[in-house]
Amino acid sequence: MDERGEELVGKIGQVTLAITPSRPGEVMLPVRGGTEVFTACSTVSIGKHARVVVVEWDAGRTVTVAPFS
């Protein structure tokens, strides 16, 4: 994992495009004082507007997330 991935793991974000186990969605994450959109995958379905936590940086602009409660 590079420095960028380490920066993303543990971040709390919000789903902007629903995620299902068979279809990636999108999340907004806080990065360097702003927010950026990332493609997000999950093993469970997560609806739009839900809060999530990044559990893994996959590559480029793709992360794996889990529901945050």
Please state the pTM of the whole predicted model: 0.90
pLDDT of amino acid 53 = 98
CATH 2.40.50.140, applies to 3-67: yes
Summarize pLDDT for 6-48 with one digit per residue, the tens: 789 999 999 999 999 999 999 999 998 999 999 999 999 999 9
Phi, psi (degrees; rounded to nearest 5) at 10:
95, -10
Residue 25's pLDDT is 98
> In angstroms, rounded to a whole number, what is the distance separating the alpha carbons of residues 22 and 5?
23
Q: Where in the chain are the domains?
A: 3-67
- Alpha-carbon gap, residue 2 to 50, rounded angstroms: 27
Q: Look at 62 and 59; give whichever has higher pLDDT.
A: 62
Q: Quick one: pLDDT at residue 27?
A: 98
Strands (E), the chain: 12-17, 25-31, 34-41, 51-59, 62-67
**What is the per-residue pLDDT for 69?**
85
pLDDT score recorded for residue 28: 98
Round to whole Å and give the CA distance between 26 and 24. Answer: 7
